[in-house]
Chain A
Amino acid sequence: MAIDVTPLSPEPTIAAAERHSMGVTLGRLVRRPESGALIGTLSVYIFFTIFGGGLFNSAAATASWLNVASELGIIALPVGLLMIAGELDLSVGSVLAASSITLAIVSGWWNMPIALGIALALLVGVVTGFLNGLIVTRTKVPSFVVTLATNFGLAGLTLGLARVITGSVSVSVHPDPTSKDIFGTLIDGQWEVAAFWWLAVILVIGWVLHVTRYGNWIFAVGGDRESAVLTGVPVSKVKIGLFMASGLGAALVGVIETVLYNGAQVANGQSFVFNSIIAVVIGGVLLTGGYGSVVGVVLGTLTFAIVNQGIYYTSWNSDWASLILGLLLLGAVLMNNTFRQLALSYGTRIKKIKKKET
């Protein structure tokens, strides 16, 4: 085989690519991970606007789905980050309950300062996340199994300790006005202050994932673990950090609910386990990791919340909401696969455009 050793590089054509960028902006938009999610959110919103009998666009209805979205979103965002890194967290339900009960016992039952209760409640989430991360990275047992075990273990621990200490499965607490304002007010009687917490979480996590180098490591770890190790990314540290973040998110919602409802119940929170995964997947995050966006997860959360609450504004029985969610989930995954394939053909598409021009 003859190999000629001529110089490899003709003139770089970066400038040429810049010229094309205007023409392919729409194409680029369609190929982003959140495109499918955007279509989903708009579709369900329009759907319930039509079938919601005029009430769906009222302030009360908007508040009802925004409240659901806010609490779910605070958990779904860090869970989404973890899924982009290729791991699952099924323990968020029990973390929420444990954090909630911790706050109620410390500040309600033992009458200690509310700030201490909140700090300990959040600590419960961070510590659980740390243990999840440590076990997953050290033992290589799939996170599905590890966090499922944590979810059951922590639920049992919470129930057992609550009964031993208080003799009951629900504990009440009376937060002072300041903590009420920060964590659990209903603004104008219907808007949960949690929406602001969600907004803060969106900004922080969006920054971390899409702007910092740490975000690049998250994509790398989920995209190809072995290659990430070879390039020197501290894979275990990244994963443990993300498990801690999802624990913190769940614990924060535990605090918000406890302050809002002036009490805690050991059975709270389990619905968040699957709802957070549904929101993340509808939002275009690849279940096996390496692909996704914060905007997508936010849209997925909104879609979930709109369906979850929108059904009450139609004339149908609310029993059908789960059916819609199930179909939506399947449809969203199929649509997201299509959009991902489009994204992967992006490079070749540019080539075609270029050929036409020359």
Chain B
Amino acid sequence: MTTPLLRLNSISKRFASTTVLTDISLEVDAGKVLCLLGDNGAGKSTLIKILSGVEAPSSGTIEINGDPISFKSPKDANGHGIFTVHQFGGTFPLMSVGRSFFVGAEPTAGFWPFKRMDTKHANEVAVRAIQELGITRVTNGSTLVGSLSGGERQALAIARAVHFGVKALILDEPTAALGVREAAHVLRIIMHARQTGVTVILVTHNVTHAMTVGDHFAVLIHGALAADFGKGERTREEITDLMAGGRAMAELEAELARYQDSTTAHTPPTTA
């Protein structure tokens, strides 16, 4: 068996006296999609912060291709090929596509003190990168990011990660704010990235989206790994139940059924 691209060894995170994550162990192979599922407050965002270098784990280790590593900053995580894209793309609405693409890693030309940002090059590269992800509407690098749609901004952020050598792409609720057509395009981009050997960690509430692209699923409940299974091992209902905390959902359904029974019994006869 090959070494997984990314491996988490019993990661825990405590903030003062509260434990947010307990003993999370996961592994993802290169070119696979891991769907990270869980209710609000289950610890998904803390896990993402640890993976993207924003927070350090209280205990446990992260391995990339078998080498243990620790991230000093998000930039450091990027250096190791781990990129995180947030719900709204994490881009700058009033900056041009070319400028925002290269924030923090601007291409320069000329010599000090006349060293300048190579805006022309930046625009060309950014436009080419986003067009490769199927966003052909963006043809000019000086277009403002704010004029792009939500899905196009996601694509821009993913294109940026691809350009800077992404190995593992973490997507935090990429489809939550999108319409059906745009969400489908983002999912298609995920499949495309997967095909080129990129590992994708998809955080989502949407079971349909998760089941469409996922190879592997992990469910977090109260900061602990509640389930960890492969594609086709669980049904949609089982996954939904797990996400909602399992038992709680069944109880809610039973309660609703009782409520409906009691109200239908007293329904006044309809006139007309």
Chain A contact residues: helix, strand, loop or mixed:
helix
CB pair B139–A3 under 8 Å, yes or no, is: no
B269 at the binding interface (Cβ < 8 Å):
no
Contact status A351-B213, CB under 8 Å: no
B132 at the interface (CB under 8 A from A): yes
Asked whether B128 lies within 8 Å of A12 as measured between CB atoms, the reply is yes
Bound CA–CA A211/B124 (angstroms): 17
Contact B74 A231 (CB under 8 A): yes
A228 partner residues in chain B, CB cutoff 8 A: 103-104
Query: Which residues of A lie under 8 Å from residue B191 when comparing CB positions?
Result: 3, 5
A13 vs B140: C-alpha distance when bound (angstroms):
9
Q: Which A213-257 residues have C-beta < 8 A from chain B?
A: 213, 215-217, 219-220, 223-224, 226-233
Give, as a whole number of angstroms, the nearest-CB distance from A16 to chain B: 6
> A346 and B92: CB pair below 8 A?
no
Q: Is B116 an interface residue (CB 8 A)?
A: yes
Given contacts A213-B106, A232-B104, contact A14 B92 (CB under 8 A): no
Could you tell me the distance in whole angstroms from the C-beta of A200 to the nearest C-beta in chain B? 14
Tell whether, in the assembled complex, residue A216 and residue B208 are in contact, meaning their CB atoms are under 8 Å apart: no
- B94 touching A231 by the CB < 8 A rule? no
Name the residue on A nearest B187 (C-beta): A3
| Chain B: minimal CB distance from A1 (Å) | 5
* Docked pose: A211 CA to B107 CA in angstroms: 11
Check if A217 sits within 8 Å of B103, measured CB to CB. Answer: yes
Q: Is B138 an interface residue (CB 8 A)?
A: yes
Q: Is B116 in contact with A211, judged by CB distance below 8 angstroms?
A: yes
User: Which A81-114 residues have C-beta < 8 A from chain B?
Assistant: none
Asked if A229 meets B131 with Cβ closer than 8 Å, knowing A220-B95, A224-B90, the reply is no
What sequence of 0s and 1s flags, for each residue 322-358 of chain A, a beta carbon within 8 Å of any chain B beta carbon?
A: 0000000000000000001001111110110010000
Q: Nearest chain B CB to A23's CB is how many angstroms away?
A: 12
- Contact partners of A230 in chain B: CB under 8 A: 52, 54, 74, 84, 90
A50 within 8 A of B: no
8 A Cβ contacts from A180-199 to B: none
Q: Does A22 count as interface, using CB distance less than 8 angstroms? A: no
Nearest CB in chain A: distance from B101 CB, A:
10
Q: Which of B23-31, B142-150, B235-243 contacts the other chain?
A: B142-150
A145 within 8 A of B: no
A46 at the interface (CB under 8 A from B): no
Assuming A223-B93, A233-B103, is B147 touching A346 (CB within 8 A)?
yes
Q: When the two chains form their complex, are residues B148 and A347 in contact, meaning their CB atoms are under 8 A apart? A: yes
User: Which single member of B86, B93, B117, B209 contacts A211 (CB below 8 Å)?
Assistant: B117
- Mask of B77-108 contacts with A, CB within 8 angstroms, 1/0: 01000001010001111110001101111101
Inter-chain pairs besides A3-B184, A14-B131, A216-B103, 11 sampled, C-beta below 8 Å: A1-B208, A8-B134, A9-B132, A14-B127, A28-B142, A224-B91, A230-B54, A232-B75, A290-B92, A343-B147, A348-B147
Interface, chain A (partner B; CB < 8 A): 1, 3-5, 8-10, 12-14, 16-17, 20-21, 28, 211-213, 215-217, 219-220, 223-224, 226-233, 286, 290-291, 340, 343-348, 350-351, 354
